[in-house]
Amino acid sequence: MPDNDNLLGETPEIWTGSEEKKGAPVLDESDLAGLLGDEPQVWTGNTQQKGAPVLDEQVMLDEPTVPTYTPQEAPRHDDLLQADVGDLLGGGEPEAYDEVGEFCRKLQFDENLKATFQTLDAEKQQQVVEMRAGQLGIPAPMIPNALRPKVEEALPEAAEVELEEAPEPEEYVPQFKDEDLERIKEESKKPQKYVPPPVEMTEEKKQENRRIMNELREERERELAKKGFTQLIILTVIGVIAAIGFGLFFTAAGPFAIKPDIELGGFMAVVKKAAPIVAVVMGIASLLLALPLPQLKGLTKFVFVISFILSLFPGIPMLIQKANVAVSAIVFLLALGGSIAVVVVMSVSDAINAYNKHGNS
């Protein structure tokens, strides 16, 4: 019974039959190809050689893809060592790995799903992959670069759209404007005049400047003194009129008499008797206003302060008791108003103060 272990061509059996068998193949010991069994030899001799082993079972082998050759044309061992590794393994160049196809096969993407998937952004693509892999019960595969969105081309378009659609900021208009602030802004827009820095002055220059300032101040005070003299002349007239009015009102003679059935007593009677003397003093004090003597002017102010007080009391109660109230009211107002005018003007007038200092020079 033949040895079936060598059917796959591991080690060929050596023929031990009759030497008279003609046409039997003669193996060359240097022929390694036959010994290694890499490429089986095709027998071209007589197929009816006697004594050849007979197989009980027929083994179907695939048709060899290598070219056939005679024993004389068999390749040498040196030639096999120099052959291409790919040819020795029985294959050509390996096929290129289709990353996109493998990705679509795992997630069962058809062409429509693939085209839609390419239009999504990176975040949406990752969500789709994780959801699809969860439905299929497989690990989420890595997205091929060929299917990822083209960020380089999308960025300029997005930036361009943003620039075109961005609204212009509205100018802020305050509801309430600060007039001082607006005026300062307007002044700042105007061209500013150049102001040279101050030059350091010598002591002589400073003294000269002080002298000039003093002269200017004295000149101004002289001008005020002239105005003060005019005011004093007017006050003198007012004082004299006030003195006359005071005397007429309090003497109660003629049209300014008291009603017949009323008899004055107490302080009113004293003022009535002293009214002529007070009126004369008021007149003299008024005439003294023209003199550049501050002490006399202080006395004049004091006299008219007293006349003002007396005009109020007992002047107002006495006015009610007059027989002719209308006529008496005229001289009463002259006395009261004149006293007020003299006291107030002398107290607040800078021109009169300048006249008291420099006189009418």
* Mean pLDDT to the nearest integer, 294-311: 91
Domain residue ranges of the chain, discontinuous segments joined by +: 1-87, 99-160, 224-358
Residue 67 has pLDDT above 80, yes or no: no
**CA distances, 181 to each of 185, 187, 189 (Å):** 6, 10, 13
Q: What span, in angstroms and rounded, lies between the C-alpha atoms of 244 and 238? A: 10
Q: Which residues contact 106 (CB under 8 A, 6 or more apart)?
A: 133, 136, 138, 141
- Which two tokens mark 13? 């059996």
> Which residues does residue 258 pair with via DSSP β-bridges, in sequence order?
322
Q: Which of 79-88, 147-156, 259-268 has the highest mean pLDDT?
A: 259-268
Note the pLDDT tens digit of each residue in 156-168: 454 444 545 556 6
Q: Which residue has the higher pLDDT, 116 or 10?
A: 116
170 pLDDT band (50/70/90 cuts)?
Answer: low
Q: Which of 61-70, 92-101, 135-144, 164-173 has the highest mean pLDDT?
A: 135-144
Are 233 and 342 within 8 A, CB to CB? no
Q: What is the pLDDT of residue 164?
A: 53
The radius of gyration of the chain from alpha carbons, rounded to an integer in Å, stands at: 70
53 pLDDT band (50/70/90 cuts)?
Answer: low
pTM greater than 0.75 (yes/no): no
Note the pLDDT tens digit of each residue in 11-29: 455 545 555 444 555 545 4
Cis peptide before 314 (omega within 30 of 0): yes
43 pLDDT band (50/70/90 cuts)?
Answer: very low
Phi, psi torsion values for 340, nearest 5 degrees? -60, -45
Q: What percent of the chain clears pLDDT 90, i.e. is strictly above it? A: 26
* Mean pLDDT to the nearest integer, 173-185: 68
Phi, psi torsion values for 258, nearest 5 degrees? -80, 155
**CA distances, 211 to each of 203, 208, 361 (Å):** 12, 5, 20
Q: What span, in angstroms and rounded, lies between the C-alpha atoms of 297 and 346? A: 8
Q: What is the pLDDT of residue 271?
A: 92
Note the pLDDT tens digit of each residue in 196-211: 666 677 888 888 888 8
